[in-house]
Chains A and B, each alone.
Chain A
């Protein structure tokens, strides 16, 4: 591992020098056989173990560029010379944006079609989910008695001054709000969002982990957060104090009779001008296979997107996930509207009193 890294960095240094003398761009280095190039907004620590396993098994080298959502613009600007084969992202918004900008192509992969349920794929085959995370409620063990909750209930005045979350414009919250619009319509969604806003303990700040800390600290009783942070805290050997935070929290899966828990996804698109499209399809098949899905579950505390693959023991201990049936494509359509609603109700200003 260490060796490969040093070698890769050596390559990169050469690419710099090459670029400087206008001799070799990095694209030249990446066009050899037996390679596949991945642009990703996924944190390196979460995707690298899977890609390393793939290289181990197939001998195919996977080059990775980790960056922000602007990678979509990079692929577009690079045009027909782009080195990118796959773009792996952490939310549906970026997948849809890539497709809408015309930088993707249908995957035409039987494996993906078999492995990934229809609601988690683009009907035209341009994108697919690779793993799922549930947007759940962390609740204080000490100060919250109930063991069940619905999203609707979060707007109930009984929670006034007790809820924490990150900015309403974060993709994770936008996804959840879009699903509320899809289920209940815009007017009800607006009313709900106003209600949640009034129940906030403080202005939306920080990240999901800050919500967990807030519960431990007594600043809030409920926090909207993704599941895997809980897994990371519970199993954190390096910083045992985080295990203490986790002990103060119970995970509630919001659901009602007509609706399951909202999930957001990590997913991938196949780039239209991919130089190694065939290699990329093989990697996609691997990423949705039992083996890779198992790895997602074990190392990342995520839910496998493939049916029948077991969740990890830690994840299983929180209870069973009954995911919302809403097709991902609908959430993608409503994201822009959700983002506008967040501004319209002034969600990020926090409670008015």
Chain B
């Protein structure tokens, strides 16, 4: 790479700008680290003596369970849908994404309602067999580690499905054909060729799912699963030790980071390039009879359990509540959620493009590291991260206010804290992992030869980005934006802490009912989150379908 001296002025400005963006994205993590270092360390002897071993075990098992389950469901369904033909394939292609619209806390509350003693399932069993009390029969307890793994996996596997599906669609037929020509059957081709090729993107998906497990407090506490995250909260609120809580969160982050490094190290020797030559789409294998039925069932099950069942329950509860519901208020909540999420999605995409493109331009290891670090912030317990976002924002506001008071005698007050801008910043940083992952993958697929060609034809870095990269990356941009949109719609802890007065979103409404232990009254809000989330999910499937086209046309730039 070029040395700093020999770079053009434009490029220098770009580097400085991008580094700034990376720092802003990192601010919440930095402030959490500062809070942790300033805190007293008394929490550790207590934890080591008491819950640490068990919480670590539970957290490990949860991550292992969710990691494996989401990987299996995500990879298997993506492989079936992209490489085979069976009844319903076109529907499953996008329906498999639907559970993404269901927030984890909503999934936890609804499934406990559906499966507990008074819920529809057990009531039916009782009336079928004539049981009269819970002591007459055995039923699996949903409020358990196993239940939590199942629940989280059912709504989080789409992260893996989406990434794996894109990866399978990108794999050119020639690679798979070679494997088949060399005598590998379809199963062996999957294990030895398609799976290793899909590994980087599947890892991105699994990582997102696991981080989501780590940052969740509400659902885990409700399900009685004592993870380290639950200890974070007890340390903070019951023992008034925010520093200690931040220390536990940082220790967890360190573990996540080490795991990610190990995983990257494991495939350090692997490079997969798109040559930009005309790749044929892979041959689709038709399935018949029993095999076709099995494939359809394998795809239908996650859709039913992760989406249809909770949505039906919510719809039923919402209809019962309808006469007592103020629909205009809900329209406002929905509008608030929608507007904020759209802006956040846009800002997140721009930020992620800036950071990843800066790395590509400069090869700067520091910016790359900053990008990756900012991404793992997603694993921080939501409420702790919210404080991490709040502290630098308020410090900025107070500094501006102080400076304006001393120099001009004007009090500017809090410019950002407690405004919509704070929420947009929160969503952008909290979901940086999501947008950054998708964009990094998208940009990585574009051969550096294209950059060189564009630059030698006299294009500036910015013009190259505009005329070459962005058009080629369209599917990745759309994926990143839509994922951040859906996640922002569902976001709760930062919204709760950082929003302005008299301002409710769908997520905060659902939460306020849930905290009064009246889940049914929040059903409409939850249903609207799911409903509004479904729209981009369908769009998402459509944009990735054009991926197939792009591949077929040999990465020809869209007109």
Contacts and interface: CB of A to CB of B under 8 A. Distances in A.
Interface of A: 2, 5-6, 8-9, 11-13, 15-20, 22, 25-31, 37, 43-46, 63-71, 73-74, 77-83, 93-94, 96-97, 100, 167, 169, 171, 174, 202-210, 213-214, 216-219, 229, 238-239, 241, 335-336, 338-340, 342-344, 346, 348-349
Nearest to B145: A203
Given A25-B417, A73-B390, A238-B321, A44 B512 contact: yes
Residue of B238, B239, B340, B390 with most chain A CB atoms under a 10 A cut-off: B238
Nearest to A216: B118
7 nearest A-B pairs in the assembled complex, by CB-CB distance: A19-B419, A16-B420, A205-B224, A217-B117, A339-B238, A77-B394, A26-B500
Contacts of B423: 16
Nearest to B517: A209
Interface string B100-135: 000000000000100011100000000000000111
A25 B416 contact: yes
B516 interface: yes
B497 A67 contact: yes
A348 B419 contact: no
Given A169-B234, A208-B517, A218-B135, A74 B390 contact: yes
B496 A67 contact: yes
Contacts of B328: 2, 5-6
Contacts of B416: 19, 22, 25
B107 to A, nearest CB: 15
Residue of A20, A25, A83, A202 with most chain B CB atoms under a 10 A cut-off: A25
Nearest to B521: A238
B457 interface: no
A273 to B, nearest CB: 11
A17 B413 CA distance: 16
Given A12-B502, A12-B503, A25-B417, A205 B223 contact: yes
Nearest to B419: A19
B508 interface: yes
25 contacts: A5-B328, A5-B329, A9-B332, A11-B502, A13-B339, A19-B419, A27-B418, A45-B512, A64-B502, A65-B501, A65-B502, A70-B383, A74-B417, A74-B497, A77-B391, A78-B397, A79-B398, A93-B237, A96-B240, A97-B237, A167-B224, A205-B224, A336-B241, A340-B46, A343-B50
A238 B237 CA distance: 34
Interface string B131-160: 001110000010110000000000000000
B512 A81 contact: no
Contacts of B332: 5-6, 9
Nearest to B240: A97
Given A11-B502, A27-B418, A78 B238 contact: no
Given A12-B502, A77-B391, A83-B501, A94 B238 contact: no
Nearest to B495: A67
Given A9-B502, A12-B336, 14 more contacts: A2-B329, A13-B336, A25-B416, A25-B417, A26-B419, A26-B501, A43-B515, A63-B501, A65-B418, A73-B242, A81-B413, A171-B237, A339-B234, A346-B50
A210 B109 CA distance: 11
Nearest to A44: B512
B390 A66 contact: no
B394 A78 contact: yes
B395 A31 contact: no
Given A9-B336, A335-B238, A206 B112 contact: yes
Contacts of A342: 234
A15 B387 contact: no
B240 A15 contact: no
A251 B423 CA distance: 44
Contacts of A17: 420
Contacts of B46: 340, 343
B165 to A, nearest CB: 35
B414 A348 contact: no
Interface in B509-559: 512-513, 515-517, 520
Given A216-B118, A344-B49, A15 B419 contact: yes
A25 B493 contact: no
B470 interface: no
Nearest to B142: A205
Nearest to A335: B238
Contacts of A336: 238-241
B290 to A, nearest CB: 41
A60 B415 CA distance: 25
A4 B115 CA distance: 40
B499 interface: yes
Interface in B419-437: 419-424
A31 B517 CA distance: 34
Nearest to B235: A339
A29 to B, nearest CB: 8
Contacts of A208: 517
A94 B240 CA distance: 9
Nearest to B333: A9
B106 to A, nearest CB: 16
Contacts of A202: 141, 143
B51 A343 contact: yes
B493 to A, nearest CB: 7
B386 A70 contact: yes
Contact of A70 (B117, B143, B387): B387
Given A12-B501, A335-B238, A217 B134 contact: yes
Contacts of A16: 339-340, 419-421, 423, 500, 503
Contact of A348 (B112, B134, B224, B339): B224
Nearest to B242: A73
B221 interface: yes
B230 interface: yes
B505 to A, nearest CB: 10
Contact of A37 (B141, B230, B393, B501): B501
Contacts of A93: 237-238, 240
B117 A219 contact: yes
B53 to A, nearest CB: 11
B449 interface: no
B242 to A, nearest CB: 7
Contacts of B502: 8-9, 11-12, 63-65
A204 B224 contact: yes
Nearest to B218: A68
Contacts of B54: 346, 349
